[in-house]
Amino acid sequence: MRDEPNDWESRAEANSFYGFTDLPSVRRRGTVVVTHGEGPYIFDTRGRRYLDANSGLWNMVAGFDNPKLAEAAKAQYDRLPGYHAFFGRMSDQTVMLSERLIEVSPFERGRVFYTNSGSEANDTLVKMLWFLNAAEGRPEKRKILTRVNGYHGVTVVASSMTGKAYNSVFGLPLPGFVHLTCPHYWREGRLDESEAEFTARMAAELEETISLEGAETIAAFVAEPVMGAGGVIPPSEGYFQAIAPVLQRHGIPLVADEVICGFGRTGEAWGCQTYDFMPDAIIASKAMTAGYFPMGAVILGPELADRLQAASDAIEEFPHGFTASGHPVGCAVSLAAIELILDDGLLENVRRLTPRFEAGLAELARKPNIGEWRGKGLMGALEAVADKENRTPFASELSVSERIANTCTDHGLICRPLGQSVVLCPPFIMTDAQMDEMFEKLEGALDQVFNEVA
């Protein structure tokens, strides 16, 4: 019988396989093994407390011990602990959640299909589009347009949609997934190019891409209102107003990937409302259950819903689904989470805190090694630079953002490194004092790391 490791860090290292984790850091520092949470704080096996300014993974917007969400789950477990949504059967909670999602969506009517994650929702959307286009006699209409630095998930299709270089290790993207320029004016704008000119160039690039690929081959353009895992990148001014008419003219659906932005993160219920555009479909997850249950959804607007229904009627089914699609406990939790966010004050708190959040980011951006602060609502980023005037990044081997995040952890703060940026997306329940604590600890970490590397 082999000896078992007897401390939590060694046990994690011995038996767990890490995803999206800087392995040298883990081997050097060990794994933080979390035991419980209180409000926006988490606690580890050593009794250390951390303010989680990443909301878990963008999703724990109501904190880690919300009684309303826990009670919703417990009550539903007592009534009906699990079921599916196949064969013409689904739970009453699933029916009620579909009604609620259409009610709070920007659509006057539509249909909802449930998944277990945002990745599966994006994967499902692509299958829906391929299916209905083939049914309508356009089997060649399969290509998906997204943007460099956009993140849409980790299934094979969602990874192909994701415009991140790391997916090349899997031999991805698949053919037919086209990545346009990231609409990040600060980084992608040309010398002496105004923001309006940059936006016009993005629209012209889209028009050119459609001409090159052929509108008859393109199934959709999928975009996050604010790029989340790309480093919290808001679009350039007027971006969606510039690209939407191009897509509409060519009959290409515009899909809003609201996995991160949806349910209040940007200060409105939906990111598409923040940026004033009407999508043809919405992808939802994360804050949809406030992180208390794994769940995602494809919310189809009227036109796509009708077309998908007609395609399904022709063969008497839509041959796709998951065992836990529309899980009754997840639906009950989601109903409670939506009520908490939209009706019980969490969205109002996002709006109240946003000026304080932006002011804190702007103050830290005055440091000589912060090139830009950016954000919308309660999602923001600070981009580290070796040379502020020339926007020169630090050498990659310095791992500056990883060092900042690790130093923050040492100070009792959880934030996220993304490229050369440090990302903050605090829970919606934050208080003024907790916001001040977040920025105080982050500033201490920034000063420490910049003194080491600059």
Q: pLDDT, tens digit, for every residue of 224-270? A: 999 999 999 999 999 999 999 999 999 999 999 999 999 999 999 99
Which residues are within 8 A (CB) of 331 and not within 5 positions of it... i.e. 6 or more apart? 76, 91, 93, 94, 96, 97, 114, 295
Instruction: Round to whole Å and give the CA distance between 298 and 102.
Output: 11
Convert the pLDDT of each residue in 368-382 to its tens digit: 999 999 999 999 999
Cα angle, residue 57 at apex, residues 350 and 356 outer, rounded to 5°: 25
Where do the domains of the chain lie?
A: 32-65+348-453, 70-342
Q: What is the pLDDT of residue 2?
A: 44
Q: Are strands 281-284 and 379-384 parallel, antiparallel or unpaired?
A: unpaired
How many other C-beta atoms are found inside a 10 Å radius of the C-beta of residue 153? 24
CATH 3.40.50.920 assigned to 32-65+348-453 = no
Residue 125: per-residue pLDDT? 98
- For 396, the 3-state DSSP assignment is helix
CATH architecture of 70-342: 3-Layer(aba) Sandwich (3.40)
Confidence of residue 409 (pLDDT cuts 50, 70, 90): very high
Confidence of residue 454 (pLDDT cuts 50, 70, 90): confident
Q: Are 293 and 73 in contact (CB under 8 A)?
A: yes
For residue 299, the Cα-to-chain-centroid distance in whole angstroms is: 16
- What angle is formed at CA 156 by the lines to CA 111 and CA 22, rounded to 5 degrees? 115
Instruction: Name the residue type at position 286.
Output: K
Is the CB of residue 179 less than 8 Å from the CB of residue 212?
no
Contact between 153 and 173 under an 8 Å Cβ cutoff? The reply is no
User: What distance in Å separates the CA atoms of residue 114 and residue 297, rounded to the nearest whole number?
Assistant: 4
pLDDT in tens, 116-156: 999 999 999 999 999 999 999 999 999 999 999 999 999 99
3-state class (DSSP) for residue 141: coil
Q: Which residue has the tokens 């789950």?
A: 73
Dump pLDDT digits (tens) for 160-184: 999 999 999 999 999 999 999 999 9
Instruction: For residue 285, name the pLDDT band (cuts at 50, 70, 90).
Output: very high
Q: Is the pLDDT of residue 358 over 50?
A: yes
pLDDT above 60 for 115: yes
Q: Which residue has the tokens 């000119």?
A: 197
Q: Write the DSSP assignment of 155-202 as a string of letters.
A: SHHHHHHSB-GGGGGGT-SPTTEEEE----HHHHPPTT--HHHHHHHH
70-342: same fold as 32-65+348-453? no
Contact 366, 354 (CB under 8 A): no
pTM of the shown model:
0.96
Distance of alpha carbon 229 from alpha carbon 348, whole angstroms: 25
Q: Each residue of 15-31: pLDDT tens digit?
A: 999 999 999 999 899 99
pLDDT of residue 192: 94
Q: How far is CA 423 from the centre of its chain?
A: 12
pLDDT (0 to 100) of residue 5? 55
* Average pLDDT of the residues of the chain: 96
